[in-house]
Amino acid sequence: MSTLSQSPVVSPLGYASGVRSVFALEMKQRLRTRSWYVLLTVWFFVIGLVAMLTALNAGSQQGQRGPVLFELMVGFVLFFGLLLAPALSANGVNGDRAAGTLAILQVTLLRPGQILAGKWLAAWVASLGFLVASVPFLLWALVLGGVRPLSALVAVVMLAVELGIVCAVGVGVSALAARPLFSIVVTYMLVALLGLGTLIAFGLSTTLTEGTVRASPVQYSQSVPFDPENYECVGEVQDMPALRTERVAWILAANPFVLVADAMPAQSGKPGVESGVMESISILVREAQAGPESGMPCVNGEKKPGVTAGSLAVTPIWPLGLGIQLAVAALLLFLGRRRLVTPVRNLSAGTRIA
């Protein structure tokens, strides 16, 4: 009698199980090194020093110290988080490729999407550690008073989302690029494009939106001290030159600082009073969305009240910015996944397999 040998049927891992396996492997590698702990310790002391100096110099009134400290901490954490996240994610794939360990994952039951998702989650969790280290100083601002708990919650959530998006961009670029140094530089350039590039593009585009607004001349009172709210509309209503910024304000949507600032509920109720860094950004962006009518005091010959973030009847711009950033990150991850599909037909010169 002859027996037929049958090879065992190997079932692929569930998607969540595969992602969890890659995530656990990545976290073990990160936690074994001292660099992450050193960076976290330095981050904590630097944030603490900035918070202490801000609280000591934020004004004599108790109600002003909390909002100033809170918004400065949010901007500070976001700025340095954008600098830190690419370093934690932009060599996640090609670093393993250069070390010859990526091929070990590719010949297992893991699929390319699971490898990318696991590495992205590991980089995101590593970056969230720095956000968690900053939470005590945000709570300090709450204790000082003047900060709405909802604003603090929204700020922490949006900071976490921004770190996740930047980590996704870094992992996607890492899968596309052959060299770790190149992917890190490209990721920093993309972050700079979102941060500084949108501001430059908006500034250059406003010169192309010249138009006119129906308004009358303004006569300010000669009171001492000068009060910018004490004025009268005089003369006839006429066409005055103005920049139609509402036509190009959408360019600012993808800016990380604009996104976080616009998503946070307003702290102050009076224009120019107790407005922190982030709220000032939100007011300026919403003025740009509203057009020149929001900043001119005598549009159509009528005296206008001061401008606050909540007084401008414009659609919040942060959902558009979030959609743009998510689309960029998803595109890079999709293209990066295609580079991880095996067998590989074409390889860059000098690329190591195992």
Residues 142-156 have pLDDT tens digits of: 888 778 888 889 999
Average pLDDT of the chain?
Answer: 82
pLDDT at 305: 60
User: Domain limits of the chain?
Assistant: 15-203+318-339, 210-294
Between residues 348 and 285, the one the model is more confident about: 285
DSSP annotation string for 326-348: HHHHHHHHHHHHHHT-SS-S---
- Read off the pLDDT of residues 228-254 as tens digits, 9 standing for 90 and up: 667 777 777 777 777 888 889 899 999
Predicted confidence (pLDDT) per residue in 73-103, tens digit = 899 999 999 999 998 898 888 888 877 788 7
Helix then strand then coil, % of the chain, to nearest 5: 65, 5, 30
Quick: pLDDT tens for 30-73: 888 888 888 889 999 988 898 888 877 765 555 577 788 888 88
Residue 349 has a pLDDT of 62
pLDDT at 282: 86
Reply yes or no on whether the pLDDT at 5 is more than 60: no
| CA-wise closest residue to 161 among 123, 124, 129, 106 | 124
Mean pLDDT of 126-133: 92
- The percentage of residues in the chain with a pLDDT greater than 90, rounded to a whole number, is 29
Reduce the DSSP state of residue 164 to 3 states and report it. helix
Average pLDDT over residues 5-17: 59
Region 152-168: what's the mean pLDDT? 94
| CB proximity list for 338: less than 8 A, separation 6 or greater | 112
pLDDT at 340: 83
pTM of the model: 0.84
